[in-house]
Amino acid sequence: MDAKRADKLMTGVLYAVAGLIIIILASLLGYILWQGLPHISWHFLTSPAKSFEAGGGIGIQLFNSFYLLLLAMLISVPLSLGAGIYLAEYARNNWLTDVVRTAIEILSSLPSVVVGLFGFLVFVLQFQFGFSILSGALALTMFNLPLLTRNVEDALRSVSFDQREAGLALGLSRWETVTHIVIPSALPGIITGMILGAGRVFGEAAALIYTAGQSAPALNFGDWNPLHVASPLNIFRPAETLAVHIWKINSEGIQPDAAAVSAGASAVLIIAVLAFNLLARWLGNRIYRKVTAA
Amino acid sequence: MQNYSLDDIYIRDFDPATEEIAIDTKNIRVFYGDKEAIHDVSLPFERYKITALIGASGSGKSTFLRSLNRMNDNIEGSRVTGQIMYRDIDINAKNVDVYEMRKHIGMVFQRPNPFAKSIYDNITFAPRRFGEHRKAVLDELVETSLKQAALWDQVKDDLHQSGLALSGGQQQRLCIARAIAMKPDVLLMDEPASALDPISTSTVEDTLLALKDQYTIIIVTHNMQQAARISDYTAFFYGGKALEYDETRKIFTRPKIKATDDYVSGHFG
Ligand SMILES: Nc1ncnc2c1ncn2[C@@H]1O[C@H](COP(=O)(O)OP(=O)(O)OP(=O)(O)O)[C@@H](O)[C@H]1O
Ligand SMILES: [Mg+2]
The pLDDT, as a whole number, for residue B29 is 96
Domain-located, residue B176: no
What distance in Å separates residue B224's CA from the closest CA in chain A?
26
Is residue B179 in some structural domain? no
Ion ligand 2 — residues with CB < 5 Å: B 62
Residue B132 has pLDDT above 80, yes or no: yes
- Contacts A172 to B, Cβ<8 Å: 99, 126, 129
| N-to-C CA span, chain A | 50
Contact B164 A184 (CB under 8 A): no
B178 touches chain A (CB under 8 A): yes
Q: Which residues of A touch B (CB under 8 A)?
A: 92-93, 160, 162-173, 176, 180-181, 184-185, 291-294
Cβ–Cβ below 8 Å for B116 and A292: yes
| CB B37 less than 6 A from any atom of ligand 1 | yes
Q: B98 CB less than 6 Å from ligand 1? A: no
- List the CATH number of the domain containing B39: 3.40.50.300
Task: Identify whether B131 is part of a domain.
Answer: no
Query: How many folded domains does chain B comprise?
Result: 1
Which range of residues forms the domain containing residue B78? 10-111+186-264
Interchain CB distance below 8 Å, A169 and B116: no
Q: What is the structure's pLDDT at A1?
A: 66
Per mean pLDDT, which of A231-235, B47-51, B264-268 is the most reliable? B47-51
The upper half-sphere exposure of residue B142, i.e. CA atoms within 13 Å in the direction of its Cβ, equals 24
Judge whether B242 lies within some domain: yes
Fill in the amino acid letter for B192.
P
Contact B77 CB / ligand 1 (< 6 Å): no
Cα R_g (chain A), whole angstroms: 23
In a domain, A146, yes or no: yes
pLDDT value at residue B81: 95
* B58 Cβ closer than 6 Å to some ligand 1 atom: yes
With respect to residue B150, please indicate whether it lies within any of the assigned structural domains.
no
Best probe of the B interface among A90, A93, A170, A292, by most B CBs < 10 A, is: A170
One-letter amino acid at A107 equals L
Q: Give the DSSP H or E segment for B253.
A: helix B248-253
The residue whose CA has the least distance to atom 26 of ligand 1 is B57
| 10-residue averages of pLDDT along chain A (294 residues) | 86 95 94 91 87 83 92 94 93 88 89 93 93 93 93 94 94 93 91 90 91 85 82 88 91 84 92 89 83 60
Domain count within chain A: 1
Pocket of ligand 1 contains residue B61 by CB under 6 Å: yes
Beta strands in chain B (DSSP E): 10-11, 21-32, 35-41, 44-46, 50-55, 78-86, 89-90, 105-108, 186-190, 216-220, 233-238, 241-247
Choose, out of B70, B162, B182, the residue to mutate when testing the contact with A (most A CBs < 10 Å): B162
Pairing of strands B216-220, B105-108: unpaired
Cβ contacts of residue A84 below 8 Å, gap of 6+? A148, A149, A150, A151, A152, A153, A155, A156
B107 contacts in chain A (CB < 8 Å): 169
Does residue A24 fall inside a structural domain? no
Q: What is the pTM of this model?
A: 0.85
Distance in angstroms (rounded) separating the CA atoms of residues A3 and A244:
53
> What pLDDT, on the 0 to 100 scale, is given for residue A293?
58
Which residue range is the domain that position A216 belongs to?
Answer: 40-292
Residue A221 sits in a domain whose CATH number is 1.10.3720.10
Average pLDDT for B94-123 = 93
Q: Is residue A188 part of a domain?
A: yes
Assigned domain for B132 exists: no
- As to burial, measured by CB atoms within 10 angstroms (0-12 exposed, 13-18 middle, 19+ buried), residue B157 is exposed
Determine, for residues A170 and B103 on separate chains, whether the beta-carbon distance falls below 8 Å: yes
